Amino acid sequence: MSASSPTLLVTGASGHLGRRVVELLLESHRGPLIVTTREPSKLADLAARGVVVRKADFDDAASLDAAFAGAQRLLLISTDALDVPGRRITQHQNAVDAARRSGVRHIVYTSLTRPEPDSPVTIAKDHWATEQALEKSGLGFTVLRNNFYADLLLHSLPRAVATGQLIAATGTGATAFVTREDCARAAVAALVSAFDGKRTLDVTGPAAVSHEELARLVSKLTGRPVQYLAVDAASLTAGMVSHGLPAPLAEAIASFDVAVAEGRMDKPSPAVAELTGGAPASIASFLEKHREALQAAH
């Protein structure tokens, strides 16, 4: 670490992605490092390791200046505030404004594949508005448009193995699934990079996979026959609600399937390899690694 290393800041550091980013930064001895969270007590172990832990409330714009003070490069991990429409846009705008006031030079932001205004994904507008805020901020930025997490399949595939049916509204579309680990690696690389311009990168796995291919892959891995059953988005939403999912969450999940069916999530990108120097994990290798979880029926 050189004396001139920029001070890095990671928001949302108690979440799955943020925590992994911080661990990777510590493993590579990057620093100085600031992390923010709504509840600093959750990160007491990081403070004990020399990380500067600060409270940040994205709903309280004035509080963010102190939270971001001294940072030169900032990783803005999109918040989980999906309860009130527009709340997350306001939160992210608050963060971008505070970063500018605090002297941050470059923001790395975790966005979504193809979040343009015509996207069917219910949360896409939050990401699109944040990308526009970055464009207008005058700051340097790296937008990481993360594809659908492979990790989320570990919630749905065990049920498919147990019932023999993988139900989705993806039609014949395919998804360039990316692991959370690869998203973390890409975020670290972008954060520590000397790049100070403006860029938007698609963060994906190495190939797109359809749900029909997923069903075959899971059948092979588990030895249990699984068939892909294509349904429409309304039926998928109703089925999830009947199994206890809140309607807004069910609608959000189904909206991703619609995006896949429309061919919006199927373009693999070299960004992970170009940023990190290592190829992203394939969906086959990821599921092989989690083979036991696939057979843990709900």
- CATH number of the domain that residue 44 is part of: 3.40.50.720
Number of domains in the chain: 1
In a domain, 97, yes or no: yes
The one-digit pLDDT tens for each residue of the chain (298 residues) are 444 789 999 999 999 999 999 999 999 877 799 999 989 999 999 999 999 999 999 999 988 999 999 999 999 999 887 767 788 899 999 999 999 999 999 999 999 999 999 999 999 999 999 999 999 999 999 999 999 999 999 988 999 999 999 999 999 999 999 999 999 999 999 999 999 999 999 999 999 999 999 999 999 999 999 999 999 999 999 999 998 988 888 998 999 999 999 999 999 999 999 999 999 999 999 999 999 999 875 4
Asked whether residue 184 is domain-assigned, the answer is yes
Q: Put the strands of the sheet holding 106-112 in their side by side order.
A: 52-55, 33-37, 8-10, 73-76, 106-112, 140-146, 198-203
243 inside domain: no
Identify which of 95, 278, 106, 254 has the alpha carbon closest to the alpha carbon of residue 186: 278
In a domain, 59, yes or no: yes
pLDDT at 297: 58
Q: Domain for residue 219, yes or no?
A: no
Host domain of residue 138: 8-147+180-204+267-280
pTM for this structure?
A: 0.95
- Per the rule left: phi > 0, alpha: psi between -120 and 50, beta: everything else, 257 is alpha
Beta-carbon contacts of 151 under 8 Å, excluding residues fewer than 6 positions away, are 179, 180
165-168/140-146 β-pairing: unpaired
Q: H-helix or E-strand containing 112?
A: strand 106-112
> Is residue 288 domain-resident?
no
Is position 259 within any domain? no
How far apart are alpha carbons 142 and 294 in whole angstroms? 35
Residue 139 in domain: yes
